[in-house]
């Protein structure tokens, strides 16, 4: 994998939106969320995902992020939501503007076990939309077919 030197990446973040994929991995009617350990959105529950590499299709990026971030080989399904996120915080203290496309993914094998990478603290399989989730995550979960909890309706 080609790494961009820190100073060049900071300049890119300062001037250009970043193309990202997020993945709604669906298993037994639940969707996987992970707690982010890095900015932006550090400490928040989020969908696994990340940057699309140059020359990589978004579908290929979605499959790659499932393996890299949670250790699950998946079939990539349809796009369920596209939006942008803008954060005042980000890597190297630089604000982040990303264009995010969320895909439905389905584990290739039943009973797949989650193996988190070093960028996530914990995970949860959710059946509904509740708690203090970022609006983008809420919209992805809603688009993926989850319902708001009775308390939040």
DSSP 49: E
- Can you say how many angstroms the Cα of residue 51 is from the centroid of all Cα atoms in its chain? 9
The residue behind tokens 């969707």 is: 31
Helix residue spans in 16-74 (DSSP H):
58-70
Q: What is the pLDDT of residue 8?
A: 87
| Residue 43 · residue 36 · CB < 8 Å | yes
Instruction: Provide the terminal-to-terminal Cα distance of the chain, rounded to the nearest Å.
Output: 44
Mean pLDDT (the chain) is: 92
Specify which residues 120 forms β-bridges with: 36
Residue with the larger pLDDT of the pair 148 and 111: 111
Interatomic CA distance for residues 47 and 76, integer angstroms: 15
Q: What is the pLDDT of residue 5?
A: 86
pLDDT tens digits, 31-46:
999 999 999 999 999 9
Q: What is the pLDDT of residue 60?
A: 98
| Residue 54 · residue 97 · CB < 8 Å | no
pLDDT tens digits, 70-128:
999 999 999 999 999 999 988 778 889 999 999 999 999 988 899 999 999 999 999 99
Q: What is the pLDDT of residue 152?
A: 45
Residue 47: count other Cβ atoms within 10 Å of its Cβ.
27
pLDDT at 151 over 50: no
Residue 102: count other Cβ atoms within 10 Å of its Cβ.
25
pLDDT at 150 over 70: no
| Residue 139 · residue 57 · CB < 8 Å | no
């Amino acid at each position: 994998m080609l790494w961009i030197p820190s100073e060049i990446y900071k300049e890119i973040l300062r001037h250009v939106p970043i193309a990202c994929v997020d993945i709604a991995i669906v298993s037994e009617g639940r969707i996987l969320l992970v707690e982010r350990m890095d900015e932006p959105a550090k400490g928040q529950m989020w969908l696994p995902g990340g940057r699309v590499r140059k020359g990589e299709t978004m579908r290929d990026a979605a499959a790659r992020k499932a393996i890299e971030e949670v250790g699950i080989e998946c079939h990539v399904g349809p796009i369920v939501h596209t939006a942008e996120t803008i954060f005042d915080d980000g890597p190297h203290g630089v604000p982040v503007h990303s264009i995010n496309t969320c895909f439905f993914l389905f584990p290739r094998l039943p009973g797949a076990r989650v193996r988190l990478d070093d960028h996530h603290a914990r995970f949860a399989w959710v059946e509904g939309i509740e708690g203090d989730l970022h609006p983008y995550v809420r919209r992805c979960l809603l688009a993926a077919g989850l319902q708001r909890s009775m308390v939040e309706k």
